[in-house]
Amino acid sequence: MKKRLFHRGHNIENSSGAPDGWKTSINGHPVESKLTLVKKSIDWWCDMKAFMPPEKFEGVSTQKQPAEQKVEEYRGFKLMNDNGQPNEWYVILRGRLFKGSPAALKKHLDAVIEKMQQQKR
């Protein structure tokens, strides 16, 4: 049974049922590979107007391995670090993003909290 897909103006079909048996033609170049790689070749052609065979995309991963996200609670605020770099922590305070080292963020939060407490008195 043939499977057919339509992706960005290109018909892609798989008549063999094999995972790497997807075929199409991009600007006169016959292409056969895994569906994701064929789609990447089509996307490349549509975006860049340059032919790139699916084999070129085989070693390239679209999803990066996520770095370990770190979250630290400090006086009711969450200090976060998404990429593991030492000075790339951030906190959102009153809808504003503040970035820096944990010590600098804590110092800033202490100053803001102290100022808020003085205004309440």
Q: What average pLDDT does this structure show over 45-49?
A: 91
Does one domain contain both 76 and 112? yes
For residue 83, is it within any domain? yes
Does one domain contain both 84 and 51? no
The predicted model scores a pTM of 0.50
Residue 25, domain extent: 3-57
Does one domain contain both 114 and 80? yes
Q: What 3-state class would DSSP assign to 76?
A: coil
Q: What total of structural domains would you count in the chain? A: 2
Q: Which residue has the higher pLDDT, 29 or 68?
A: 29
d(CA 57, CA 70): 32
Does one domain contain both 9 and 52? yes
For residue 89, is it within any domain? yes
Q: Does pLDDT of 108 surpass 90?
A: yes
Q: What average pLDDT does this structure show over 112-120?
A: 90
For residue 101, is it within any domain? yes
pLDDT category of residue 101 using cuts at 50, 70 and 90: very high
For residue 63, is it within any domain? no
Q: How many residues does the chain have?
A: 121
For residue 65, is it within any domain? no
d(CA 92, CA 88): 13
Q: What average pLDDT does this structure show over 15-41?
A: 90
When mean pLDDT is compared across 2-6, 21-25, 55-59, 102-106, the lowest value belongs to 55-59
For residue 75, is it within any domain? yes
Q: Are 51 and 26 in contact (CB under 8 A)?
A: yes
For residue 24, is it within any domain? yes
When mean pLDDT is compared across 50-54, 61-65, 98-102, the lowest value belongs to 61-65
State residue 60's pLDDT score. Answer: 65
For residue 64, is it within any domain? no
Picking from 57, 79, 101, the residue at the C-terminal end of a domain is 57
